[in-house]
Amino acid sequence: MKKIFISSLGLLLAAATTQAQSDYTAVKQDLAKDKQEESITKKEKREERKELRKLEGPSVSYQAKQQFYEDFGDIPDVAWERTAAFDEATFTKDGQEIKAFYDFHAELVGTTTPKTFADLPMAAQQYIHKKYNDYEAKKVIMFDDNEYNESDMLLYGQQFEDEDSYFVEVQKNDKRIILQVSMDGQVSYFTALR
């Protein structure tokens, strides 16, 4: 009786192991397929965004100006400029110069404000001093993303996914590069200026 019970238990265990391996393989294949589909979807969204970003005509849109008024209120002396990608408003609020960027749909993508090297997270300051010790920090701006707009931002001729970041221009002789600094102090190379 024990032998029958033990052999039945062995067969049951072997069947369960085989089923578990089969389930594991199926889950692994499903994850790979999901990852591939997600990659395709992200690529399609990026291509779609690039098409939506191009503005036509030389004039700033009326809708962008109206949205600016809703976003920031009645600010005097706003300077408007239309670029290939954005309608840009430069203004002063609370003594701070701000530049606001509006996309094809006249929605706020984000703002930039001048900052100082001391405004960077301490971890970023230490990393830049160590890694770029023979460079001089020239200019720092902070990009504040509008989390409700999925449009990517374009700074220094480079497109990047929308997230709050600092951009630091460092220079050594006539070589200038831009570093991107996350709000938690992670530093990465962004682009070179010519």
pLDDT at 136 over 70: yes
More confident residue, 31 or 161: 161
In a domain, 25, yes or no: yes
In a domain, 56, yes or no: no
More confident residue, 92 or 28: 92
In a domain, 57, yes or no: no
Task: List the CATH number of the domain containing 175.
Answer: 3.10.450.360
In this structure, what token pair is assigned to residue 49?
A: 């965004």
pLDDT at 25 over 50: yes
pLDDT at 3 over 90: no
Are both 186 and 99 inside the same structural domain? yes
- Do the bridges between strand 158-160 and strand 87-93 make them parallel or antiparallel, or are there none, so unpaired? unpaired
User: Are 48 and 103 spatial neighbours (Cβ–Cβ below 8 Å)?
Assistant: no
Torsions phi, psi for 181 (to 5 deg): -125, 125
pLDDT at 50 over 60: no
Are both 157 and 185 inside the same structural domain? yes
CA 183, 184, 190, 194 dihedral sign is positive
More confident residue, 48 or 90: 90
Are both 3 and 98 inside the same structural domain? no
Are both 46 and 66 inside the same structural domain? no
Are both 16 and 75 inside the same structural domain? no
Are both 109 and 162 inside the same structural domain? yes
Domain span at residue 103? Answer: 62-193
In a domain, 148, yes or no: yes
Q: Which pLDDT score, from 0 to 100, does residue 160 have?
A: 85
Radius of gyration of the chain (CA): 26
**DSSP element (H, E) containing 3:** helix 2-53
Q: What is the mean pLDDT of residues 136-142?
A: 95
Are both 96 and 123 inside the same structural domain? yes
CA-CA distances (angstroms) from residue 135 to 107, 165, 176? 37, 20, 9
Domain count, the chain: 2
| Residue-wise DSSP of 69-82 | HHHH-S-SS-EEEE
Pick the range with the lowest mean pLDDT from 35-44, 81-90, 101-110, 119-128.
35-44
In this structure, what token pair is assigned to residue 95?
A: 């003594």
Are both 88 and 182 inside the same structural domain? yes
Are both 67 and 115 inside the same structural domain? yes
- Distance, in Å, from the CA atom of 104 to the CA atom of 74, rounded to the nearest integer, reads 22
Nearest by Cα to 164 from 155, 176, 172, 174: 155
pLDDT at 143 over 70: yes
In this structure, the chain runs to a length of 194
- Distance, in Å, from the CA atom of 9 to the CA atom of 91, rounded to the nearest integer, reads 78
Are both 120 and 184 inside the same structural domain? yes
Predicted TM-score of the model (pTM)? 0.70
Are both 43 and 99 inside the same structural domain? no
